[in-house]
Amino acid sequence: MEKLYLICLLFVMLLLPRVQGMAQPVTRTLGLQEVIALAQEQSAAARQAETSRENSYWQWRSFKSDYKPQLSLQGILPDFSRTINPVTQPDGTTEFKPVSINNAELGLSLSQVVGPTGGRVFVTSLMQRFDDFDRDQTRYNGNPAIVGIEQPLFAYNNLAWAKKIEPLRYQESQRQYLEEREQVAVTATKLYFDLLLAQTNHSIASQNQSSNDTLYQIANEKYKLGRLSKNDLLQLRLAVLNAELGMAQAALDQQTAALALKTYIGMKDTDALQLLTPEGIPAGTVQADLALAEAKKNRKENLNFSRRLLEAESLVAKAKGDNGLNASLFATFGLTNRGATFTDIYDRPENQQRARIGFNMPIMDWGRQRSIHKVAELNRQLVQYTVDQEEANFEQAVLTQVNQYNTLKARLSTTAEADAIAQERYEITKNTFVIGRISITDLNIALAEKDQARRAHIASLSAFWTAHYTLRQLTLYDFEQQQAILLETQDIR
């Protein structure tokens, strides 16, 4: 029995540390850059941006394919019919005869659009077969080769305008992807500092609770010795109770902020997070001229403005082309033949030509054509005014953000020094209070200033880093590395 008891005791001693280790949550320490990297890699917002980018890429591929040769196969296999049809007889009478026939048709066509003219050229080969089952007859008709052209005359050329507009739209979507990634960084930064501030408040509340409890115990002894008034003792007791309430609220705020951050960056684990306070900041200030120049070069706005103006121009051209003289040319030249067998089609085929020019010209439209054209021109003018205003607003936003960035950066050293002074002053005041040389009021003032200075410094860091990543988003420029934020884009040729 003694041996069995020793074995069980040894087993429990070996297993207990592992069970305790499993029961305790793992604390994961993260810095600001790590959180941003996680958000840009696995957050829902990052995945949405990536999906939108892929969508725009395949739309671009679809557009490019419209200008490539198109090979298609068309056919009807079969078209069978068995019915009774009226048949006119040689003497003019009508007889209803049973008819059992089948038609089959197959065609292979190669076409190519002509972007500069808006037309289309094509090469086609057609084959038709007719079967009369009642009379046991088979006939073939075909066009071994037909070369043709379809060309609108004086009309709006959608192909030419699309070739100007769509490359801008695609490049705009790529820059939009970069901006959305930087927006992820901005949002992650805000949530990071929300949690960091909550953790700071929790730490402050914990320290205040411990400190106030210690001071209360000391004050209680002084009160018993008659060296402290009842009012000061009650004030310290009230401070202990407030610290306990603050501790509970800080713990709740910390849990809420941690959940918000983990949800946004896509963390599925249950590890506790401990965030690091960013120490280093980018050196130097940002020059407004550089930021504005990079913003105009890198952001999607310039492409967006150009695309919208081109779209307005294209609508003017469409209004003009669709309401004037519209004509179209259709011409084909090829070979044709018929026969009782399939090979007869290719035995000395005959020439086949076809040419057609159609037109439509309004004679009296009661000012409709002029009105449509005028509306398109006014819309173009409105787009121009809107673009000018948006361009001015964009420049103002960049310059404002530069000023905010530089101001917040200069303020950081002030808040850091104020934080250090307030912490030191509180320690001095607390020690002075312990020896009875200052009142509880002075101690509470020093405590409030200490907490306020710490929170102000964290708030300054939050505002600065948020401004830092917002400026990156507005300019798509990395001011630390002195280079544009670029991604390798798919071929747009």
Confidence band, pLDDT 50/70/90 cuts, at residue 78: confident
Neighbours of 432 (CB within 10 A): 14
Task: Please state which of the ranges 33-47, 211-225, 342-356 shows the lowest mean pLDDT.
Answer: 211-225
Q: Two tokens at 108?
A: 């292979």
The model's pLDDT over 209-245, given as tens digits with 9 standing for 90+, comes to 887 787 778 778 777 777 777 887 787 788 788 878 8
Identify each DSSP E strand in 48-93 by its residue range.
Answer: 70-88
Q: What percent of the chain has pLDDT over 70?
A: 94
Which pLDDT score is estimated for 19? 42
Which pLDDT score is estimated for 24? 55
Mean pLDDT of 13-42: 73
- Distance CA(402)–CA(408), nearest Å, equals 10
The model's pLDDT over 466-486, given as tens digits with 9 standing for 90+, comes to 999 999 999 999 998 889 988
Taking Cα atoms as reference points, which of 189, 188, 193 lies closest to residue 456? 193
Which pLDDT score is estimated for 222? 76
Mean per-residue pLDDT of the chain: 86
Higher pLDDT, 401 or 271: 401
Taking Cα atoms as reference points, which of 206, 271, 239 lies closest to residue 29? 271
Which pLDDT score is estimated for 16? 46
Which pLDDT score is estimated for 21? 46
Which pLDDT score is estimated for 14? 52
Which pLDDT score is estimated for 229? 76
Taking Cα atoms as reference points, which of 289, 149, 132, 258 lies closest to residue 196? 258
Task: Please state which of the ranges 279-283, 297-301, 441-445 shows the lowest mean pLDDT.
Answer: 441-445
The DSSP code for 345 is: G
Instruction: Please report the sign of the dihedral spanned by the C-alpha atoms of residue 455, residue 460, residue 465, residue 467.
Output: positive
Q: Which residues of 176-191 are buried (b: 16+ CB within 10 A; e: fewer)?
A: bbbbbbbbbbbbbbbb
| Secondary structure class of 210 (helix, strand, coil) | helix
Which pLDDT score is estimated for 489? 53
The model's pLDDT over 139-185, given as tens digits with 9 standing for 90+, comes to 999 889 999 999 998 888 999 999 999 999 999 999 999 999 999 99
Give residues with Cβ within 8 angstroms of 83, minimum separation 6. Answer: 98, 99
Q: Over 90: is that where the pLDDT of 52 sits?
A: yes
Helix axes 368-434, 301-322, angle to 10 degrees: 160
Among all chains, which residue has been given the structure tokens 């849990």?
Answer: 255
Q: Which domains does the chain have, with CATH numbers?
A: 28-67+160-202+217-227+247-306+381-484 (1.20.1600.10), 78-114+119-156+326-361 (no CATH)
Identify each DSSP E strand in 259-325 by its residue range.
Answer: 272-275
Neighbours of 193 (CB within 10 A): 25
Confidence band, pLDDT 50/70/90 cuts, at residue 314: very high
Task: Please state which of the ranges 16-20, 42-46, 113-117, 317-321 shows the lowest mean pLDDT.
Answer: 16-20
Higher pLDDT, 213 or 7: 213
Q: Over 80: is that where the pLDDT of 105 sits?
A: yes
Which pLDDT score is estimated for 25? 61
Task: Please state which of the ranges 5-14, 189-198, 422-431 shows the lowest mean pLDDT.
Answer: 5-14
Q: Over 70: is that where the pLDDT of 491 sits?
A: no
Mean pLDDT of 304-333: 90
Angle at the Cα of 52 from the Cα atoms of 46 and 54, rounded to 5 degrees:
105
Helix axes 230-265, 158-224, angle to 10 degrees: 160
Considering 280-294, 343-357, 375-389, the range whose residues carry the highest mean pLDDT is 375-389
Q: Over 50: is that where the pLDDT of 12 sits?
A: no
